[in-house]
Structure 1
């Protein structure tokens, strides 16, 4: 089941999208991401970068999702920003986010 709900708050709009944790539904999340970014008048290359980032984050989560899990995506839309959070129940315990290389290191 795919569910899309908008819940306005005092400062922004929040859109929650819940889809089965299956790669076949990533296109739904990519499309929602692009639509919301377009609403903020992001440039086409920025929209594509954001779509790719959301797709990659979801793909990493799907690899560790529990069976029959649902992937939850939360989009917070403000006048000048789009914040995206994705989550899914995992077969492993909570994990720290991957570390980023320090400046000057690859």
Structure 2
């Protein structure tokens, strides 16, 4: 398993922390990412419900991306922690980049669990999903 973690350390109330994780683009490794997500969210003092929401959202985003991932490549995740917010960008190499459908159930789950969600296609062979979750943010009714 390729599991690379790099962190730029500042304290939680400081400017920003960034943690990057790279692992094989296979669902068998997603438990590593779920654990990292929970640990980092706990570092920001997210509630247990917020941590679980974020874990599920990251898992769902990865599942969406893995359907398009080139076999044998890596999935990368970058966690940016800034004060009371975590931004998670998960990304894979793809053969064909087709953005997620906004009316799919998986996309609706993402938008219900995270405060902001977007799909990014910075190049024709890469797809990313970016989630943002703020501590204590009220969920839409």
The TM-score with structure 1 as length reference comes to 0.86
Bigger RCO (CA 8 Å, 6+ sep): 1
Q: CA deviation at 1:19?
A: 0.3
Structure 1: stretches of 5+ with no match in the other structure: 102-106
Question: CA 1:7/1:98 → structure 2, altered by over 3 Å: closer, same or farther?
Answer: farther
Q: Distance in 2 between matches of 1:98 and 1:15?
A: 28
Whichever structure has more strand as a proportion of its residues is 2
* 1:48-103 deviations in Å (ceiling 9; x for gaps): 0000000000011111100111000000011111100000001213x3343368xx
Q: Distance in 2 between matches of 1:7 and 1:68?
A: 28
The TM-score with structure 2 as length reference comes to 0.66
Q: How does 1:44-63 map to 2 (within 5 A)?
A: 44-63=48-67
- How many residues were matched structurally? 100
Q: Secondary structure at the match of 1:17?
A: strand
Q: Please, what is the CA RMSD of the aligned residues?
A: 1.8
- Report the counterpart of residue 98 of structure 1 in structure 2: 101
Q: Distance in 2 between matches of 1:84 and 1:98?
A: 20
Q: Secondary structure at the match of 1:88?
A: strand
- Report the counterpart of residue 4 of structure 2 in structure 1: 3
Q: How does 1:27-38 map to 2 (within 5 A)?
A: 27-38=31-42
Structure 2: stretches of 5+ with no match in the other structure: 109-141
